Structure 1
Amino acid sequence: MKISELSRTTGVPVASIKYFRREGLLPAGRATAATLAEYGDEHVQRLRLIKALTTTGGLSIAAARDVLTAVDRSDSTDGTLKAISYALPVPVTQSPGADAEEETEAATAARADVAGLIAAMDWQVPDTSPHVQGLAVALQELRRLDADYRPERLVAYAELARSIARLDLERAAALEDSPSLAEQAVVVLALSGPMLELLRRLAQEDQVRRRTTFEDDDTPA
Structure 2
Amino acid sequence: MRISELSRHSGVPIPTIKYYLRDGLLPPGRATAANQADYDEGHLRRLRLIRALIGVRGLSVSATREVLAAVDERQDDLHLLLGTVLGALPADRDAADDDDAADAADDDANAAAPDLTDVEALTARMGWKVSSRTPAAQVVAETLETLRVLGVEFDWRSLLPYAELADRTAELDLDQLRDAGGPLQQAERAVLLAVLLEPALLALRRLAQEHHSAQRYGG
TM-score normalised per structure 1: 0.74
In structure 2, C-alpha distance between the alignment counterparts of 1:194 and 1:64, rounded to whole Å: 23
Over 6 Å off, 4+ runs = none
Task: Show CA shifts across 1:17-51 (max 9, x none).
Answer: 12222343322222233433222222222222222
1:63-212 correspondence to structure 2 within 5 Å: 63-74=63-74, 75-85=76-86, 86=88, 87=91, 104=112, 107=113, 110-173=115-178, 175-212=180-217
* Aligned pairs, number: 202
- Do residues 36 (structure 1) and 41 (structure 2) align? no
In the TM superposition, what is the alpha-carbon distance from 1:161 to its structure 2 partner?
0.8
| Partner Cα separation in structure 2 for residue 191 and residue 88 of structure 1 | 18
Identify if the C-alpha distance between structure 1 residues 151 and 72 changes in structure 2 by more than 3 Å, giving closer, same or farther: same
SS of the equivalent of 1:124 reads coil
Change (3 A) 1:116 1:67: same
CA drift of 1:162 comes to: 0.9
1:197 to partner: Cα distance: 1.8
The answer for unaligned runs of 5 or more in structure 2 is 95-103, 105-109
Q: 1:78 to 1:209 in 2, by over 3 A?
A: same
Instruction: State the Cα RMSD in Å.
Output: 3.0
**Distance (Å, rounded) in 2 between the aligned partners of 1:44 and 1:174:** 18
| Distance verdict in 2 for CA 1:195–1:50, change over 3 Å | farther
Deviation at 1:157, TM superposition (A): 0.9
Cα drift, residue 115 of structure 1: 1.6
Distance 1:141 1:69, change over 3 A: farther
Note closer, same or farther for the CA distance 1:2–1:176 as it changes in structure 2 (3 Å cut): closer
TM-score (norm 2): 0.75
1:115-143 per-position Cα deviation (integer Å, ceiling 9, x unaligned): 22222222212323333233223333343
Q: What amino acid is the match of 1:2? A: R
- Whether the aligned pair in 1 keeps the contact of 2:49 and 2:185 (CA below 8 Å) is no
Residues 83/58 of structure 1: CA separation in 2 closer, same or farther (3 Å cut)? closer
2:56·2:192 contact (CA, 8 Å) conserved in 1?
Answer: no
Whether the aligned pair in 1 keeps the contact of 2:30 and 2:37 (CA below 8 Å) is: yes
Specify whether residues 67 and 208 from structure 1 end up closer, same or farther in structure 2 by C-alpha distance, changes over 3 A only.
farther
Identity rate, percent: 43
Larger radius of gyration between Structure 1 and Structure 2: 1
